[in-house]
């Protein structure tokens, strides 16, 4: 029996195939990866739902696909036989030939759209990314006719290849996985193209922490509930309200077109560390959700990350990102903006400090905050005001909980 394997629900947008992981004649098993698709911020493997033998592949590297697009034809009844001779060698050769030219150009959907709009042949753009990938920086350098940056990058790459660490002792070589490659590329592009400034501050969460513990005591009365409210839902809610009040923080800047996109929706991404790398699942519509609603969303997304069940819809649409290192330690740090966003908030471990309250020295629970922002879009006064707003909301939490 033959089955046509299709793309599962990945939302409404079209995504690009950056890698085909199988070939015609392969014996594959259920949950084995078939193709890798890429959005603006991450790449995801599409797995097979069946065991079987691949008879035909309908897609190529560089193709745009969407939900229910056909990927390949699978014979789910055939048993593995080393003596089987396949008659699809022509298809294999054709697939490789069709892929060959497209493999010369690796670029995100955004870069390809800009290239079409500006009538630019991407073959003419010098690339510096992994596998010859054209980064946003490469594209901007081409538009500016700035060859110096490309030559400098090529010089750096050639120098790195000359390093011989083995002469100093034993060395173990490891390679980044797909998620780590995408993450490293995005971080490099963000750091090299966005002028980062970081504002540091701290918030007194003594009353909020006491309230949070009482909330969890009430939740524990329900034996079926897995929910545990952390400080994170309160921070998410406070940021959602801050984004509404300070619209520049809820924007994206297109440097090529010199346009600022002010968004009217409020979605916040949470950095989650996993054994495969960093993911940033997105909590949608935080402005209209309660603290409990947000806590439940965080629980669901965390479980999906651990079980490797995140989909593109879970990862797309973020306006602002939170990087929470509170459970790991440390104090202040400089988080890197999650492009195309313009700001990110870093949270560190809270500590007990002696501070003045009504002219009296008191022991209070204080949490460090680190706000990095794009200085092209946001100035220092705005950043301080944004941070002060969040601090006020967290210190006077009872007001915005009622709101």
Nearest to 335 by CA among 368, 365, 372: 372
CB hemisphere CA count around 331 (13 angstroms): 6
- Residue 375 is among the residues annotated as catalytic for this protein: yes
The C-alpha atoms of residue 44 and residue 16 are separated, in whole angstroms, by: 11
Burial of 161 (0-12, 13-18, 19+ CB in 10 A): exposed
- CB count, 10 Å around CB of 365? 16
Burial of 338 (0-12, 13-18, 19+ CB in 10 A): buried
Beta carbons of 204 and 395 less than 8 angstroms apart: yes
Burial of 76 (0-12, 13-18, 19+ CB in 10 A): middle
Beta carbons of 193 and 336 less than 8 angstroms apart: no
Helix residue spans in 29-172 (DSSP H): 89-103, 109-117, 136-143, 147-161
Look-up: residue for tokens 């790449």? 43
Nearest to 133 by CA among 106, 108, 157: 106
Among the listed residues 27, 196, 339, 375, the single catalytic one is 375
Compute and round to an integer the Cα radius of gyration of the chain: 25
Q: Kindly provide the b/e burial profile for residues 316-329, where b requires at least 16 CB atoms within 10 angstroms of the residue's own CB.
A: bbbbbbbbbbbeee
Which active-site residues does the annotation give?
375
């Amino acid at each position: 029996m033959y089955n046509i394997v299709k793309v599962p629900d990945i939302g409404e947008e079209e995504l690009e195939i950056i890698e085909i992981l199988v070939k015609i004649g392969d014996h594959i098993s259920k949950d084995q990866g078939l193709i890798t698709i890429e959005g603006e911020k991450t790449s995801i493997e599409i797995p097979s739902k069946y065991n079987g033998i691949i008879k035909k592949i309908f897609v190529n590297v560089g193709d745009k696909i969407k939900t229910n697009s056909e990927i390949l034809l699978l014979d789910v009844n055939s048993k593995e036989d080393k003596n089987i001779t396949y008659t699809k060698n022509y298809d294999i050769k054709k697939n490789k030939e069709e892929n060959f030219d497209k493999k010369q150009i690796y670029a995100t959907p955004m870069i390809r759209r800009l290239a079409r709009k500006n009538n630019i042949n991407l073959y003419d753009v010098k690339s510096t990314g992994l596998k010859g990938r054209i980064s946003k920086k490469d594209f901007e350098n081409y538009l500016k006719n700035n060859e110096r940056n490309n030559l400098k990058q090529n010089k750096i790459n050639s120098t790195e290849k000359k390093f011989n660490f083995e002469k100093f002792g034993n060395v173990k070589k490891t390679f980044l996985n797909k998620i780590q490659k995408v993450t490293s590329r995005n971080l490099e592009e963000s750091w090299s193209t966005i002028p980062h400034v970081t504002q540091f501050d701290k918030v007194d969460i003594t009353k909020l922490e006491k309230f949070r513990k009482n909330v969890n005591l009430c939740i524990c009365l329900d034996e079926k509930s897995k929910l545990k409210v952390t400080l994170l839902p309160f921070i998410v809610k406070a940021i959602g309200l801050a984004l509404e009040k300070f619209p520049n923080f809820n924007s994206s800047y297109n440097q090529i077109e010199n346009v600022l996109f002010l968004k009217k929706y409020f979605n916040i991404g949470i950095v989650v560390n996993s054994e495969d790398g960093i993911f940033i699942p997105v909590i949608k519509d935080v402005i209209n959700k309660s603290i409990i609603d947000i806590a439940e969303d965080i629980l669901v997304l965390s479980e999906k990350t651990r079980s490797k069940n995140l989909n593109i819809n879970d990862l797309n649409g973020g306006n602002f990102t939170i990087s929470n290192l509170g459970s790991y330690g440390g104090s202040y740090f400089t988080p890197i903006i999650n492009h195309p966003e313009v700001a990110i908030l870093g949270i560190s471990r809270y500590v007990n400090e002696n501070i003045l309250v009504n002219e009296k020295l008191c022991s209070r629970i204080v949490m460090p905050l680190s706000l990095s922002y794009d200085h092209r879009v946001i100035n220092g006064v705005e950043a301080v005001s944004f941070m002060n707003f969040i601090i006020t909301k967290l210190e006077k939490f009872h007001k915005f909980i009622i709101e």
